[in-house]
Amino acid sequence: KNEVEQSPQNLTAQEGEFITINCSYSVGISALHWLQQHPGGGIVSLFMLSSGKKKHGRLIATINIQEKHSSLHITASHPRDSAVYICAVRKSRYPGGSEKLVFGKGTKLTVNP
């Protein structure tokens, strides 16, 4: 079982819909990242969370540390939001440990006009 699981794997929505992408993880973490990847490969960091909630424009990210769960919400979705959204966690520090990220497989979002 992967340490980071995302759902759904694929999501198709109509323009204007409210989108939710979920991420569950099974390890202790020091931070969780939400990333966006467009065709062509480049990854853009959307949020880094260690607790609570963050908002940027139409994007909202929440995290529940006790339940080991995070959600990414997109309000008033638009075709330009179509991309792969990836959840990644930074495991809790331990002596000699790295700051590497462990990634989910991503959620492919398609927003139709």
Partner 1 sequence: DTGVSQDPRHKITKRGQNVTFRCDPISEHNRLYWYRQTLGQGPEFLTYFQNEAQLEKSRLLSDRFSAERPKGSFSTLEIQRTEQGDSAMYLCASSFLFSGSKNYGYTFGSGTRLTVV
Residues that bind partner 1 (CB under 8 A): 4, 30-31, 33, 35, 40-45, 48, 50, 86, 88, 90, 98-106
What is the closest distance, in whole angstroms, from the C-beta atom of residue 51 to partner 1 in the complex? 12
Nearer to partner 1, 60 or 102 (CB): 102
Phi and psi (nearest 5°) for 71?
-130, 145
Looking at the Cβ atoms of 78 and 105, the one nearer to partner 1 is 105
